[in-house]
Chains A and B, each alone.
Chain A
Amino acid sequence: MRRLGYSVFVLLGLSVVVFIIARLVPGDPARAALGPRATQEAVEALRAKLHLDKPIYVQYFFWLRSVFRGDFGESLYTRRPVIEDIREFLPATLELALFAGLFMAVFGLLLGVLSARYANTWVDNVIRVLAYLGIATPAFVVAIILILLFGMYYEVFPTIGRLSPGISAPPRLTGLLTLDSLLSGNWVALVDALKHLFLPALSLSLGGLFQEARITRASMLENARRDFVAAARAYGIPERVVIAKYLFKPSIIPTVSILGLDFASLIGNAFLVELLFNWPGLSRYGINVMLRKDIEAIVAVVMVLGVVFTVVNILVDLVVAYLDPRIRLVERGE
């Protein structure tokens, strides 16, 4: 609860900073939105509507008042309420980030465990080399390679959009196409959505995935030397059980912490992958609104990212507390 309280102040501070920065960037947002040839009356009307003719603290007051009413203003880029844009584009990015996160968690842990289990063998060496490559290669480079590979040579996975033309989208319940397809029993759309997700999620996840693998490996090797593991082995407990029950759980604590941070940054960093795969997500939308000085949308996108980051951090703290009894004991003052 205390963390939650702090988060409110963090978000408020973030809103002030972003609000000021968005307005200090050179250029008239109204003119940028309406184009150089729009009539002066139209530009002035838009400036008045955005309260740009008032001092910045008054503008902030109006903005904050609207936000408390659930109104983030109107996007100058899409010409509709920002809240509608966020509703439309956030699920696409969340879905992408969730699948990328899933790849990172499953394959990162799997490779980490394999690497630790077979430390200093060829298996470990191969995984380590792959990890260096994966971490060093930016997601957009991976995306381009995958697009060229699967788009031009092995046409297995689609390279643009979320759904193929001709496939009817499931009724919108959550905005996550896979989940909506599943809930509505639209198996064709489910398979098609999964196919569309595969390449962008893979490109986005590779860096984090190998980072998770490296951390898991290091943590497992460190814990393997601890007394409680030696004791378990001394009791004659089978090695598989030692790894799964005594070694794995404490070793993934640092991985989970990093995974949480990686997941939160995926949402902000996905823009190049979204751009390349023509993925209609919030990250790409965020970049587009920044390029057009769409002030209301910029602030809203940054705030949404801030909220996601905060929520994920709190969730990570809870998971880590569950995994690490020492934290729970400290919290209780024991």
Chain B
Amino acid sequence: MKVHRVMFSIVLVAGILLVAGLGWADSAKIVRFTEAWPTYIDPAVAADFSSSVSVSNLYDTLVFPTYDGEVVPHLAESWEVSEDGLTYTFHLRKGVKFHNGEELKAEDVVFSMERLLTIGQGYSYIFKPIIDRVEAVDDYTVRFHLKKPFGPFLYALVRLYILNKDEVLAHIEPTGEYGEMGDYGKKWLLTHDAGSGPYMVKEMRLEEYLHAVRFPDYWKPFDPNAPEEFKYIGTTETATVRTLLSKRELEISDFRQPAEFYEAASKLEGVKVAKLFGGSTFFCMMHNRKPPTDDVHFRKALAYAIDYDAIANQIFPGARQAQGPVSFILPGHNPEVYQYRRDLEKAKEELAKSKYADKLDEYPVDLVWCAEVPDEEKVALLIQASAAELGIKVNVIKTPWMKIIEEVATPETTAHMYLIFVSPHYAEAGSMLQSKYHSSSCGTWEQTEWLQDPELDRMIEDAIATVDKEERFAKYRKIQEYIVELCPSLFLIDQPENYAYQDYYIDWTAAERAERGEKVNPVMGYNHYMMDIRVYPEKREELLKKK
């Protein structure tokens, strides 16, 4: 009898589980996307891709980045710049509400900047060197005083997310590290928002997901088909992502999947793969102070020996050969700058001019690739093979990222060459030029070249301080020519981010633009701006029924 009772209970529980498992259908206008965890939704901490996606949807900024690399009025309706380029005065839109119903005012802008600079994380590195002080002139006027002219200031402001001062202050933990500001609300802002953006946090389960819903009192009208909610799912596991995509429980995949995934995903009915160039460039950085890569002819010989097509088409399908140090998508890129192409004859000519031409055996070159990015090994081996054609011996070394950061800190411990992806801090050529080649970035992973060229430093500083955009961009173009002539790095590829998405039932502006060959938003995170997406749940139902 006992055995029968146990069996009956097992069958009953299994039955309940089965029946309960069949009911979950989702007909809401929701966009779900996967991305690596964690995401930080505190604007003073957020700086990586996933965090940038989150904060750009939860918070508003004074100006808003467009797809063509411009900025347009957003919270600020208008602004004036002083003659000397040191004072920016913004006139705020009236009646903008935070998610708790309070009105956004100038003092919230002041608070947000002061908080960002005090905490010193997130995007503070953009503003720290240039902001002198910020003042609220009245409730709807805010003034920024700069230490020195900074031409791309307006473009950089897309990284100043405005928080509700009162709400943050109400959630301060007194035992924090910021004096009377306690923890500056950092703990609370880990899982809550204090923004005025189009979406607001509904639920955040750490290590699982961020679920946000439309803010009904948003100052801009929503398109009727814009998502009512979005869900950031914290996984990049291929099997999981593929399953969710085929079950139509995922609208946009992350871009961290292997090539096989995208191939399989594109075969699913209604799914397409979008290739979005986000401004990231893949470099082989060469030590400009260490023999033999200290010789410009040696560096140029390598630049002419590399098979760029193989890297762009076979190792990173969909990528395109980089033209100079600035991605083609970034405003300020020089489309006329010289592009090195594989030409063994030229490579040999350059090598013959090098002072190391007769003693290559004495100068083997160490090439380091990042252990966490397996595809880099293929590039390293390809460079090794290309260099061997010139008689240059390249030692390929696999090194963990943390170790790379440590060894590039001094010129003595920096190896000859590193394979590293670099993205701009803000969407303009000046960002890349400064972080890649200005002497101030030596010792960081962004510049393992140790270029330390005073003339180049002067040119970069001058360009960045130029307020007039056309004039600034002309200077950027000259700098790119100067750098390409110096050939401090091998400019390998502009890397696209690949996303599988439900083309049948969502309209994703960024993907459509990319498909038409138009530029996508160069500011990291803004291609996932939910107000630019349309969802049609009834079409999703169609696909589910077909299955």
Contact = CB atoms under 8 A, between A and B. Distances in A.
Contacts of B38: 77-78, 288
B349 interface: no
Interface range, A side = 35 or more
A152 B246 contact: yes
A160 B240 contact: yes
B237 A26 contact: no
A285 to B, nearest CB: 6
A281 B206 CA distance: 10
Interface string A23-56: 0011110011011111101100100010000000
Contacts of A35: 47-48, 121
Contact of B21 (A49, A144, A148, A157): A157
B543 interface: no
Interface in B106-142: 119-121, 124-125, 128
Given A79-B40, A162-B208, A285-B207, A42 B446 contact: no
Contacts of A284: 207
Given A35-B121, A45-B177, A148 B402 contact: no
B21 A156 contact: yes
B16 interface: yes
Contacts of A165: 26, 211, 231
A160 B244 contact: yes
Given A28-B405, A148-B243, A164-B24, A80 B187 contact: yes
Nearest to B372: A291
A195 B17 contact: yes
Interface string B10-25: 0001001110111010
B234 interface: yes
B405 A276 contact: no
Given A36-B405, A280-B208, A198 B121 contact: no
B121 A156 contact: no
Contacts of B128: 39
A147 interface: yes
Contacts of A278: 208, 233-235, 237, 240
A278 B207 CA distance: 8
B425 interface: yes
Most buried by B among A32, A77, A277, A278: A278
B26 to A, nearest CB: 8
A156 B17 CA distance: 8
B247 interface: yes
Most buried by A among B16, B207, B234, B235: B207
Contacts of B209: 161
B244 A151 contact: yes
Given A32-B402, A36-B405, A77-B38, A198 B17 contact: yes
Interface string B21-49: 11010100000000001101000010110
Given A27-B405, A160-B233, A155 B247 contact: yes
Given A38-B121, A38-B124, A41-B120, A156 B18 contact: yes
Contacts of B37: 288
Contacts, number: 132
Contact of A36 (B20, B233, B237, B444): B444
B239 A78 contact: no
B445 interface: yes
Interface in A62-106: 77-80, 88-89
A34 B121 contact: yes
Interface residues of B, number: 53
Nearest to A29: B402
Contacts of B40: 79
A292 to B, nearest CB: 9
B205 interface: yes
B400 interface: yes
Given A32-B402, A36-B444, A79-B186, A42 B243 contact: no
B120 A78 contact: no
Contacts of A27: 400-403, 405-406
A314 to B, nearest CB: 30
A260 to B, nearest CB: 24
Nearest to A293: B402
A191 B17 contact: yes
B44 to A, nearest CB: 10
B344 interface: no
A11 interface: no
Contact of B235 (A152, A160, A162): A160
Contacts of B240: 147, 151, 159-160, 276-278
A275 to B, nearest CB: 6
12 contacts: A39-B124, A147-B239, A151-B243, A151-B246, A155-B21, A159-B240, A165-B26, A194-B13, A195-B17, A195-B20, A280-B207, A285-B207
Interface of A: 25-28, 31-32, 34-39, 41-42, 45, 49, 77-80, 88-89, 143-144, 147-148, 151-152, 155-162, 164-165, 191-192, 194-195, 198, 275-278, 280-281, 284-285, 288, 293
Closest 9 interchain pairs by CB?
A27-B402, A42-B120, A151-B243, A280-B207, A37-B125, A156-B21, A39-B120, A26-B403, A278-B235
Given A159-B244, A275-B237, A280-B208, 17 more contacts: A26-B400, A26-B406, A27-B401, A35-B121, A39-B128, A80-B190, A148-B242, A148-B243, A151-B244, A152-B246, A158-B21, A164-B24, A165-B211, A194-B13, A278-B233, A280-B207, A288-B37
